[in-house]
Structure 1
Amino acid sequence: MHWIRTPRCLRTSRGLLLPLSLSSGHPVLQRAAEARRDFWKLSRSVDRVGSWWIQSGLSKMNDADVGKQIQQMVRFILQEAEEKASEISVAAEEEFNIEKLQLVESEKRRIRQDYERKQKQVDVGRKIAYSTQLNAARIKLLQAQDGVVVEMKEDAGKGLLRVTKDANAYRKVLRGLVVQSLLRLREPSVVLRCREADRGHVESVLEAAKKEYAEKAKVNLPKILIDGKLRRRRACVAGWQDRVRQHAGCKDGDLFQAKAS
């Protein structure tokens, strides 16, 4: 490897360019600049020594021998300088590769961190969108359920108004209501109160209702007493559902009422 001097940098035969302006900053470049200065100092010293030997006449060697000696010294100095420059060049290339690798790894880490951050943002956005859609679907489902319940109530009310016109169907409904009341009360003796207009229908289904209740509850036949203190009440079909839930106490307008005696 040979050093080529340029106005602002040192260039090796391998193409490595070492700027002189950076010699004060980087350690490798600083060593290269120092080696260059030492080389040129030695070269000037050799030139001065050779000139002094020739001019003083103290040397007994002729000019040819002096020239050979000087050339030998110059070759030795150049060889030492080349070896030193080669070491500096190898060290510079190694440090350059290390720093390049560190920069590449640093940029890779930064890119990975940016990607992870953006991926987290995307995941959070997806979760928010999914939660929003799920809540909207639940609201629609609840609204649909409410609509179906309201529609069923309206249909049931209309059906109850129609069922009173059919005696057989009406007695079947009364029987089911009596059985439901007995199952909810689970008492051996109850008092049944109904409309005066429905007393005949209730009495006709009372025995069948007792047997059905005894089979379902696995108990003896209950004692059911129809309240004799009946008053005329206006028909209130909607009150049937309330009577099944309440079991006791009768409001005006109810079709019938069962309570424990």
Structure 2
Amino acid sequence: MKENGYSAILLKKAIELINTLDTKALVIIGIQPKNLLKMKIPVVIIGNEAEEKPANFHYLRLPLSLGTKNLVNLASSFMITNEIIHEKDLFVYVTPSSLGIRRAEKTVKAKDEFFLQIEHIFREVLELAIELSLEGREGKPVGTIFVIGDTRNVIRHSYQMVPNPFKGYKINILDRSTREIIKEFAFLDGAFVINKSGRVLCAGRYLDIDLKKTAVRIPSGLGSRHLAAAGISKLTKAIAITVSESGVVRVFKNGKIIFEYNPRLD
């Protein structure tokens, strides 16, 4: 989602809509306003933070690859969750190529904890998970797990199923040129383990969870991959992101699903 020559025009039109209708917020996606207007209503910016940060401005560091529909849905859930606006309130959203009006509603399965996790490493892994959901590997669906943070305890509660392809290499999720390398190993059974700096420590890691002792509960229909992700997120301080073969991306923290999204339905 790149800015173009229409961004300033669309943003101006969004302001006109706000002044005409009884709207309660403005959501700006993928546009960096050069001169922030003195808005009286709350403004949610998805993308990079602006230099000026008025008190009524809120920032969501979500990957723009989620697409407009889902970013608007997440912004809606975020505003309701944080009591910025109320359910059924009108808000305006604007992107570099579109402008729209929505009523606030919680249409995305995202809990409060999800919005608190949107740091740079988490964001990069989430974006990679979404890419895997959409692209698969060689055009075929692929399921995998990414475990982020608290690596010492994660390693203690897991073991290597196959030789670790990342041993001795400094492959970092922040280096976009390594994405294809990581995707190549998504076919391995087991999990990727990524430290808090973004380095991929291993792939093909079996999460050795005693589910009876851990006592995690997940919705019926979800299999061992999701049980393992829930279990490791409860046993450690790590966050787990799963990609199912049906394309659904889920985020687990403290043994619970805090985010659920299917990019293929966008």
Higher relative contact order (CA 8 A, sep 6+): 2
Bigger strand fraction: 2
Bigger helix fraction: 1
| Structure whose alpha-carbon radius of gyration is higher | 1
Scaled by the length of structure 2, the TM-score of the pair is 0.20
